[in-house]
Amino acid sequence: MELDVVIIGAGAAGMMCAIEAGRRGRKVLLIDHAKAAGEKIRISGGGRCNFTNLEIAPERFLSENPRFALSALKRFTQWDFIARVDAAGISWHEKTLGQLFCDRSAKDIIALLLNDMAAAGVTLWLETAVAKVRKTEHGFDVTTGRGQVRCRSLVIASGGKSIPKMGATGFGYDIAAQFNIACVPTRPALVPLTFSEHELAHMAPLAGTSVSAAVGFDGTEFREGLLFTHRGLSGPSILQISSYWQEGQAITVDLCVGERVSETLKILKQSAGKISIKNALARTLPEKLAGLMTSLAGVTGTLADQSNKDLERLAGLVHSWALKPVGTEGYRTAEVTMGGISTDALNAKTMETKDVSGLYFIGEVVDVTGWLGGYNFQWAWSSGWAAGQVV
Ligand code: FDA
């Protein structure tokens, strides 16, 4: 079978690229080993797909070259994707921090992409494995479970390693290795952090408790929800900082953002000195968390028993709790994979590899990782669109 374009991976990036190339009259084949296209879209955003963010900006993407993503993000913006969502009659809402979700279901986004692919004449092969890729004089031979196909352009859109249970593989990195294309080491990101037995013993009784917090690492800070779990810490602020955190280092947690806990406690001491220090703090924090903080600060008794210095020490802990994670929950639960195909190896405008003509990488397999909140889908749409204009 002879084609203009073969795309491997029918996720967000692969489908967008297929639509654009098909609209340009290219003969396009999209291959995926999964049973259905867009499986990650289906489960994303709690089933409602946080499909983009109103506040897309290059500094909200991590990469060895943070400027790389700029070109694609500028050429196919969040507004361009919103226009497609609107044209398809999909209703949506902003949840928080510019995050846009479908009102009804993530399946609406998949239907939009499948409809556009059908209209653009794209052929979709599901449950099809790719055994081998070979460079030829005019393009590539791709050996698949349904036989051999030939193409001029080959696009790798196979995503990262996150959630192997859903079919994630290291396929894209293997293809990069085959063609000597540089890769930035990968690691799980947007992922819950885990703690030592010792620290977990303190935290485990709080499992299920959530607070609004500011979580920081090395000058970067996120003010969002934080959730105590049986394994450690999760919630948006923790997922966000996991992309920045480095092994062996501590994160800092402010459990009472925007309030001056020492002042609050000192004032309360004047009017209600007889209440226990734990209950006094529980006016600001969930009760179990107040218990943990007072015990870690080593303060007991009533408010009146505490010196101002004790109250300041306790408040210091509440506002700047230093915690040293031992690791992350790994690819099993990570939303994304950091690292991947080095942006140095790619043309920022087209996503074509500089050294292998006709070979493209798009989406999460590339060393571009967005913040939590629709940034990663926007990168998939933008990079897929960019390649789709030229393949
Ligand atoms: P994606 O992983 O979507 O697609 C890759 C495709 O390649 C898959 O269909 C896979 O089956 C296929 N494939 C892999 N190996 C193959 C092989 N060897 N042969 C054939 N096919 C192969 N982002 C966001 O912006 N908003 C959100 O709400 C969420 N929510 C979210 C929830 C959860 C639980 C996860 C795990 C992730 C998110 N994300 C997210 C991240 C987002 O899902 C992710 O960044 C994009 O799906 C990446 O799109 P890609 O098309 O690059 O890869």
Domains and CATH numbers, the chain: 2-187+338-388 (3.50.50.60), 192-329 (2.40.30.10)
Distance 40 CA to ligand 1 centre (A): 5
pTM: 0.97
HSE-up of 145 (CA within 13 Å, CB side)? 11
Distance 264 CA to ligand 1 centre (A): 46
Q: Determine if ligand 1 sits within 6 Å of the CB of residue 8.
A: yes
Q: Determine if ligand 1 sits within 6 Å of the CB of residue 45.
A: yes
d(C-alpha 364, C-alpha 391), whole Å: 19
Taking phi over 0 as left and psi of -120 to 50 as alpha, with beta for the rest, 374 belongs to left
Which residues of the chain are under the pLDDT cut of 50? none
What pLDDT score does 196 carry? 96
Q: Determine if ligand 1 sits within 6 Å of the CB of residue 163.
A: yes
Distance 161 CA to ligand 1 centre (A): 9
What pLDDT score does 130 carry? 98
Ligand 1 nearest-atom number relative to CA 168 = 14
Burial of 81 (0-12, 13-18, 19+ CB in 10 A): buried
Contact between 49 and 101 under an 8 Å Cβ cutoff? The reply is yes
d(C-alpha 223, C-alpha 259), whole Å: 13
What pLDDT score does 58 carry? 93
Tell me what ipTM this predicted complex has.
0.99
Q: What is the pLDDT of residues 133-161, one digit of tens each?
A: 999 999 999 999 999 999 999 999 999 99
Distance 380 CA to ligand 1 centre (A): 9
Distance 300 CA to ligand 1 centre (A): 50
What pLDDT score does 354 carry? 98
Q: What is the pLDDT of residues 234-259, one digit of tens each?
A: 999 999 999 999 999 999 999 999 99
Distance 245 CA to ligand 1 centre (A): 23
Q: Determine if ligand 1 sits within 6 Å of the CB of residue 336.
A: yes
What pLDDT score does 167 carry? 85
Q: Determine if ligand 1 sits within 6 Å of the CB of residue 12.
A: yes
d(C-alpha 364, C-alpha 176), whole Å: 14
Q: Determine if ligand 1 sits within 6 Å of the CB of residue 374.
A: yes
What pLDDT score does 145 carry? 97
Q: Determine if ligand 1 sits within 6 Å of the CB of residue 169.
A: yes
Pocket test for ligand 1, best of 6, 29, 44 (most atoms within 8 A of CB): 44
What pLDDT score does 175 carry? 98
What pLDDT score does 151 carry? 98
